[in-house]
Amino acid sequence: MPFITPKCRDRINAKGIKSCEEPGDICYVFYRAFVNAWKLEPRWRTVHRLYRDSICDRCRCSFYGLVLEELSGKFETQDIEAAQSLAWQVFFQNFVMPYENSKRDSNGDIQ
């Protein structure tokens, strides 16, 4: 998934998206983008926007389009979509759910 080896991360960070060699590399690229957006504005509105633009409407997502363009011919579109979806799931579990749990604790559970 997105937690590829430091060596692979360094390669992608230095050489860019085109240097992805495995689906896990693509997952890392998307996960890193989600995390960076979250760190800039850690709130539900950010999650909503990321999900709407990245998952619900891939065709209009500029970052997805960039990754698709950079990797077309090297990976099948379905592999890129799968990597993005799996990156989303890991991001949601690691960042969004702890945020939601803290909101539930401070605002009360829904009965």
- How does pLDDT run across 71-93, given as a tens digit for each residue? 999 999 999 999 999 999 999 99
pLDDT one-digit tens code per residue, 35-67: 999 999 999 999 999 999 888 887 777 889 899
Domain range summary for the chain, segments of one domain joined by +? 6-97
Average pLDDT over residues 20-25: 98
Q: Give the model's pLDDT for residue 60.
A: 74
Integer-rounded Cα Rg, in Å, for the chain is: 15
Please list, in sequence order, all residues whose beta carbon lies within 8 angstroms of the beta carbon of residue 6, skipping any fewer than 6 positions away. Answer: none
Please write the tens of the pLDDT for every residue from 94-109. 999 999 999 999 999 9
